[in-house]
């Protein structure tokens, strides 16, 4: 089964969102949507999400799923906004509870912040399957970048979130709380056991040395041959050393503080105060 995949690129956060469509009908899923956020002014904007809503409506699609590959630290999810307009169930990995526990503490959330994943419609675990129309999706738990990362394998297409990036860029960082380069290596090996012709759709692209165009589609075979971090059977120890050294040099993503607070709530803002105003916190010297 070959789903029709349409990509939506957000250059502000280098995120690729996808609409994945059953070629036999009108059912689709939206993977990793973006709610635009201007940190300086604290303002949200729905330009990116509206492009997806418009695409769904123009093509008479039925959104069955809003799939999150993980709790993103670099952009806010627009899943609830899209759900309100065109429906769909919001799904994420069941290890979201670990992420909620970690960041519930970092942001000193009160007991009203549930850490049981109940903000989401569906918690997926390794080996689960689901359907988009007649098309089957399978869930691989692929932690390492975060504890809750999933890869969604839908027909011949794998949506790998932040595990592998394009072969010339490599792999995702592993230095967020709960991240582990050893774990990511094992998860990547799991992805690379898929058939070589499996299409891989990555969660971000940043261009790469010698490449001045954004790109987001590759294959398992290409990753095995060409990925600069794990290709040609790179040994685990070499990968772990490289990844940890590189991560030590990386700055935090610009939107990590608002992203985590919103995305651990399935893309919802914290509860408004008694006047109806919404606030995000900035924990000092905590992240
Ligand atoms: Fe991420």
Question: Residue 143 C-alpha to ligand 1 middle, in angstroms?
Answer: 11
| pLDDT per residue as tens, the chain (287 positions) | 899 999 999 999 999 999 999 999 999 999 999 999 999 999 999 999 999 999 999 999 999 999 999 999 999 999 999 999 999 999 999 999 999 999 999 999 999 999 999 999 999 999 999 999 999 999 999 999 999 999 999 999 999 999 999 999 999 999 999 999 999 999 999 999 999 999 999 999 999 999 999 999 999 999 999 999 999 999 999 999 999 999 999 999 999 999 999 999 999 999 999 999 999 999 999 88
pLDDT for 196 equals 98
CA 211 to chain centre: 23
Question: Residue 275 C-alpha to ligand 1 middle, in angstroms?
Answer: 33
Question: Residue 71 C-alpha to ligand 1 middle, in angstroms?
Answer: 7
Question: Residue 175 C-alpha to ligand 1 middle, in angstroms?
Answer: 11
pTM, two decimal places: 0.97
CA–CA separation, 205 vs 181, rounded Å? 20
pLDDT for 180 equals 98
> What is the DSSP code string of 66-79?
EE-SS--SSSB--H
pLDDT for 123 equals 98
pLDDT for 287 equals 86
Segments of the chain assigned E as strands: 4-10, 15-21, 27-31, 36-38, 43-45, 62-67, 89-93, 122-124, 129-132, 135-141, 150-154, 157-161, 199-202, 217-219
Question: Residue 95 C-alpha to ligand 1 middle, in angstroms?
Answer: 15
Strands 199-202 and 157-161 turn out to be: parallel
Question: Residue 255 C-alpha to ligand 1 middle, in angstroms?
Answer: 11
Question: Residue 271 C-alpha to ligand 1 middle, in angstroms?
Answer: 24
């Amino acid at each position: 089964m070959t789903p029709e995949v349409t990509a939506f690129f957000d250059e502000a956060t280098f995120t690729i969102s996808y609409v994945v469509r059953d070629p036999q009908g009108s059912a689709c899923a939206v993977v990793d949507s973006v709610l635009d956020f201007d940190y300086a002014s604290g303002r949200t904007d729905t330009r990116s999400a509206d492009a997806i809503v418009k695409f769904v409506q123009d093509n008479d699609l039925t959104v069955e799923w809003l799939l999150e590959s993980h709790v993103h630290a670099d952009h806010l999810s627009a899943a609830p906004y899209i759900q309100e307009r065109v429906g769909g169930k919001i799904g994420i990995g069941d290890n979201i509870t670990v992420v909620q526990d970690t960041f519930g503490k970092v942001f000193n959330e009160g007991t009203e912040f549930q850490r049981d994943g109940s903000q989401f419609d569906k918690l997926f675990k390794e080996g689960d399957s689901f359907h988009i129309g007649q098309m089957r999706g399978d869930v691989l738990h692929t932690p390492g970048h975060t504890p809750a990362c999933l890869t969604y394998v839908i027909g011949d297409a794998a949506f790998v979130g932040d595990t592998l990036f394009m072969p010339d860029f490599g792999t995702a960082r592993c230095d967020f709380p709960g991240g582990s380069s050893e774990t990511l290596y094992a998860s990547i090996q799991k992805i690379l056991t898929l058939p070589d012709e499996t299409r891989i759709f990555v969660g971000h692209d940043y261009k790469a040395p010698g490449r001045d165009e954004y790109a987001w589609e590759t294959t398992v075979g290409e990753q095995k041959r060409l990925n600069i971090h794990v290709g040609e059977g790179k040994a685990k120890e070499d990968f772990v050393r490289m990844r940890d050294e590189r991560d030590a040099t990386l700055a935090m993503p610009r939107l990590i503080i608002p992203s985590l607070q919103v995305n651990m709530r399935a893309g919802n803002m914290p509860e408004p105060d008694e006047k109806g105003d919404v606030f995000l916190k900035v924990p000092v010297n905590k992240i």
